[in-house]
Structure 1
Amino acid sequence: MAISKKPFAALAASALALSVAACGGSDDNGGGGGNSDNKSAAGSKGGTAIFFNGVRNTEHWDPQRMYIGRDLNNSGRLFYRSLVAYPASNDAKEGTTPVADLATDTGKTDDGGKTWQFTVRDDVKWQDGKPITCEDFKYGASRNFATDVIIGGPANYLFTYLDIPQGKDGLPVYDGPYKKDNQDLFDKAVTCDGQTITYHMKKVWPDFPQSIASLRYLDPYRQDLDKGDASNFQIISNGPYKLDGNWTEGTGGTFVRNENWDESTDPIRKALPDKWEFREGDQDEAIYDQLLADSGDAQFGVTERRLPPTDYGRIDEVKDRYTQVESPFVDYLLPNFNSPVFKDKACREALAMATSRASWIQAGGGDRAFKPAYSVINPSVPGYTENPKFKSIPDEGDPAGAKAKLAECSAPKPVKIKFTYSGGTPTSDKQASALKDAWDKAGFVTELDPLQDTYYSVIQKPDADFDVTWAGWGADWPSVGTVIPPLFDSRINITKSSNGNDYGNYKGGPEVDSAIDAAYAEADLDKAAQDWAGVDAKLSDDVAYIPLEITIFNFLHGSKITGYSNNVSTNGYADLAVIGVSK
């Protein structure tokens, strides 16, 4: 799942819970911990809360297209519900165990996970009062297959598991509800019997309920209201809040109470504020000027923007409103395999050797902000193995080795490259400059290309104009199978209009794809970990990516926020399901 430096992703809960104890509640950092409270543990209903999105705009509110952690978290706590969801708990086990949401239970399987069955509650409604039906869930699932319209989401999981054949192009032969080619095959794979929906898989999927709880791609959707690509910012609520008017990209929108949400049907969302006002466009520094001063509306504010390093010296002033937790995300770089420069392996190896993760980390705030990463997989994910190739490169890089390898690079000298990154803040621009300095010392000539408003929708285009780009990722739920395949399986990142999450356009071919299949199929977890390590070794040998660091979240909230809690057992963000405001 992509991170918003925007790119959710589930981290192994026990490790993240430990990181909260170590990072969030100690006297050293003054943090309130991952489950800190302010004023009261619960709060009362009423008032208006503010969520500061900052300069990184929401790219999709369409549930089938959404794949950014912040937005998955917020929408699932305020206006979207699914069959199952994660409870508002930071207990390591409880917080990552799905509970029934719009379904009557957490799903049934009699064959080890090859067939899953859920029954939709008969007392839940959409915001206009219409009942939520099994057919709404079936239609929502069908939208994932319209790969020319519904772009950017985690459809690859359905392509991998749902029992629909693939065509010669590698895509499922069913192409979604707009074209309806081979609709009969989808109708066999996903069936409705009254309010009971059944998903038929081509292979066992034991953690299917975790997939539903972590993402939004299997949320219900209203066929009569579907406008295809024009639905990107349309919100059809079935949760406690609904959008008041329209969502304006770059500005935001306001959510008010949904009168057709019945609290008695919802075991998760307390829905305390009367309104949630979402604001986009403010720089991180401007947001934190207000939060640190605890002035005006900021008293009622929360954010997913991280405290700028220039403000670290003020943490002691606000330690009762400050939280620090180790996130589930890894930041990494991607050489573009479509680039004339990085089609050459020697050029990619030179880039990896020239990269100074130490300079990147220091420019971003040092060890309060990041820990060095030696794989695209977060260490807390079961099956993690440190990648020896990346570990062998010093954190400061290897300038001499990079120069020697660059001499073998077939690109014209000097080797000019464009670095596209998620910019728009002084910190991100400073980090990009630190990478540029290290690369240029090795002999590259680097052009910096910051993107400010939207990011992933740009780098997801196979013909995007960059040589190297930044990305962030965390496991969708605690499994290596939700990291490597979504990013590097060539069979699921193959549409003409999008590279999925394979932003560097890497195609490992049969060797990598068969190794992924072998790791998936291995039931012994220790052996599976070895298999995944083997796939990661091949990726590092190809320099499919270059790991940078593990992101540490450090957030501040306003003094009139009550019951503040971070979802430390799943994603690290503020849990809007339980937050309220004092009057």
Structure 2
Amino acid sequence: MTMNKKSYSILAVAIAGSMSLAACGGGSSDDKGSSSEGGGKGGTLYYLSKRPAEHLDPQRMYIGRDIADMGRLTYRSLVQMPVTEDAAKADKPVADLATDTGKMSDGGKKWSFTLKDGVKWQDGKDITCDDLKYGLSRSFATDVITGGPNYALGFLDVPQKDGLPVYNGPYKKAGQADFDKAVTCDGKTITYKFNKAWPDFNLAVASLRAFDPYRKDQDKGDKSNYAVFANGPYKLQGTWQKGKGGTFVRNENYDAKTDGVRKALPDKIVFQEGLTNEVINQRLIADSGNDKNAVTDRAVPPSMYGQVTGKIADRSTNPQSPYVDYLVPNFKKMTNPKVRQALLAATSQDAWIKAGGGDKAYTNAYSIINPALTTAYAKNPAFKYGTGGNIEEAKKLLKEAGQPNPSIKFTYSGGTPTSQKQAAALKDTWEKAGFKVTLNELTDTYYDVIQNPNADGDVFWGGWGADWPSASTVIPALFDSRINLTAKSNGQDYGNYKSDEVNKMIDEAAKATSVDAAGEIYKKIDQKLGEDVAYIPLESQKFYLLRGSNVTNYIDNPATSMYPDLGSVGVKK
């Protein structure tokens, strides 16, 4: 998923045979939070942020922060990742809307789930198998439901034409009969049929909102982007205002007896968007009024590190995040491979990291795959110029390219002094090598802009974490052009990269009979991507987050990308 995307530690998954995982509850009493005293029900929690939510539509949601938050508050899934800070438990799905964690058959080509009794929408109507089927169907309407994950398009057993499924979603309904054969309902049981084995499908369901149910009578297509029709413990009060936020209150038709995942402690959760990182952290350091009941996804700015001491430091966490930040050259514009090599040579991770706050904010990255994915991670040998940049080598490569002073525009997610300093640090080293650099700072929504294949820029910033513990959720999602490149969206292939060789290797990895075997192929694909300079790694993020003194049961959960887990958090009353 895009930064903020989520990732988990590696989980070995059974590949062959039939599998049924027993349901078990999440958030058990042995999960001790970082601040666990006084964590009863009631009170109001405040969530302070800067970056607006790009999508609240579950099938369009692909920002890890929003996936995590809405999966704890408003949207329930067939299975869900548990509320825990125990890494050994965090990556094992538990039953949510379903009676168990799924039954796999046909060597992983079929999965079936049965809905629990008593699970309802916010208006009291039962959640049905047809709601689950309709929710998934929306992902195929790629001209309307944009921005979300597209795994279903490649896996579901629907015929393809010109590299895309013949089914085009519930609005146009071409190929509807093919979709109806691939997803079937029998009472409360839904069965998914895939064109290849998907042994970790239940991890995908637990990790994304794309497989969540959706009520057909609530669907207004693109106009549903900020509409929330809940089946979880909270519902949206009034409307969501982009850039300002919204308030969630208890859903009276939610039955906690059907939910073994969420604690649902606060009576109300108020999201406040549009605040700067500096203002948010100044307020949390001061710790007065409602800010005592506040959490945030925004890191402490480096200029404020010296203020986080004593009791204030006791209200902070600094975990390693699952995300790798990186750059992608735009292959529509930066067509000369030597120019891309020169950009790689001139890029200084060290300057970027220093400008961003040093070792409290980042560690160096040597691949787009996070080291936590141990079966597929290796330092990419194509990134051979060191972490400090090599200006002389970059100059040499530009000369060989016949473009000693190329002009490039760097498009990045900005709006903070830190992001501006980091962009300036890259600009400085690139210009020393001979590039003429224009900075293009985006301060509102970001990914929905750069997902346009015609987005303005020669180089884009990106951030990614595995959707579930497999490199199959990193490299194909970012670089398989067959699922990413369309007229209106490049999916997550922000640089419009296309390689038949890489696509073929991705197919080989998909046929591997073990996680380890697939991992070895992904290492080779990663090296090829490095040789093409399909991406340039910048760093792996660390989170440095404060919270208010009244916040209880705060945990660092890999299942929520190390953001505040709203399934556990409460406030003192």
Measured against the shorter chain, the TM-score band is over 0.9
- Which residue of the partner structure matches residue 535 of structure 2? 545
Q: 1:110 to 1:215 in 2, by over 3 A?
A: same
Q: 1:35 to 1:361 in 2, by over 3 A?
A: farther
Match of 1:126 among 116, 121, 131: 121
- Which residue of the partner structure matches residue 409 of structure 1? 401
Q: 1:154 to 1:282 in 2, by over 3 A?
A: same
**1:130-185 deviation line (CA, Å, top 9, x unaligned):** 11000000000000000100001012x112211001112x1100000000001000
Q: Which residue identity lines up with residue 447 of structure 1 in the other structure?
A: T
How many pairs are equivalent?
553
Q: 1:569 to 1:230 in 2, by over 3 A?
A: closer
Q: CA deviation at 1:11?
A: 2.5
Cα distance in 2, alignment partners of residues 344 and 136 from structure 1: 48
- Which residue of the partner structure matches residue 160 of structure 2? 166
- Which residue of the partner structure matches residue 473 of structure 2? 482
Q: Which residue identity lines up with residue 306 of structure 1 in the other structure?
A: A
- Which residue of the partner structure matches residue 358 of structure 2? 366
1:447 counterpart SS class: strand
2:342 counterpart SS class: helix
State whether residues 380 and 530 of structure 2, in contact with CA within 8 Å, keep that contact through their aligned partners in structure 1.
Answer: no
State whether residues 382 and 479 of structure 1, in contact with CA within 8 Å, keep that contact through their aligned partners in structure 2.
Answer: no
Q: CA deviation at 1:524?
A: 3.7
Q: Are residue 189 (structure 1) and residue 182 (structure 2) matched?
A: yes
Q: Are residue 213 (structure 1) and residue 206 (structure 2) matched?
A: yes
- Which residue of the partner structure matches residue 93 of structure 1? 88
Q: 1:311 to 1:49 in 2, by over 3 A?
A: same
- Which residue of the partner structure matches residue 517 of structure 2? 527
Q: CA deviation at 1:62?
A: 0.4
* TM-score, normalised via structure 1 length: 0.93
State whether residues 382 and 531 of structure 2, in contact with CA within 8 Å, keep that contact through their aligned partners in structure 1.
Answer: no
1:332 counterpart SS class: strand
Q: Equivalent residues in 2 for 1:176-575 (5 A)?
A: 176-317=169-310, 318-339=312-333, 342-411=334-403, 414-509=405-500, 511-569=501-559, 571-575=561-565
Q: Which residue identity lines up with residue 507 of structure 1 in the other structure?
A: K
Q: CA deviation at 1:538?
A: 0.8
Cα distance in 2, alignment partners of residues 554 and 255 from structure 1: 26
1:109 counterpart SS class: strand
Cα distance in 2, alignment partners of residues 452 and 569 from structure 1: 28
**1:243-275 deviation line (CA, Å, top 9, x unaligned):** 000000010000011000011111111111110
**1:486-537 deviation line (CA, Å, top 9, x unaligned):** 000011002211000000110112x111101111211244332221111111
Cα distance in 2, alignment partners of residues 174 and 529 from structure 1: 31
Q: CA deviation at 1:368?
A: 1.4
CA RMSD of aligned residues (A): 1.4
State whether residues 35 and 566 of structure 1, in contact with CA within 8 Å, keep that contact through their aligned partners in structure 2.
Answer: no
- Which residue of the partner structure matches residue 44 of structure 1? 40
Match of 1:113 among 108, 112, 123: 108
- Which residue of the partner structure matches residue 25 of structure 1? none
State whether residues 417 and 446 of structure 1, in contact with CA within 8 Å, keep that contact through their aligned partners in structure 2.
Answer: yes
- Which residue of the partner structure matches residue 27 of structure 1? none
Q: Which runs of 5+ in 1 are unaligned?
A: 15-33
Cα distance in 2, alignment partners of residues 391 and 416 from structure 1: 23
2:482 counterpart SS class: coil
Cα distance in 1, alignment partners of residues 253 and 409 from structure 2: 50
**How much identity, in percent, do the aligned residues show?**
55
* TM-score, normalised via structure 2 length: 0.95
Q: 1:129 to 1:167 in 2, by over 3 A?
A: same
Cα distance in 2, alignment partners of residues 262 and 455 from structure 1: 37
**1:535-568 deviation line (CA, Å, top 9, x unaligned):** 1111111100000000001110000111111213
Cα distance in 2, alignment partners of residues 210 and 93 from structure 1: 15
State whether residues 45 and 270 of structure 2, in contact with CA within 8 Å, keep that contact through their aligned partners in structure 1.
Answer: yes
2:298 counterpart SS class: coil
Match of 1:153 among 143, 148, 151: 148
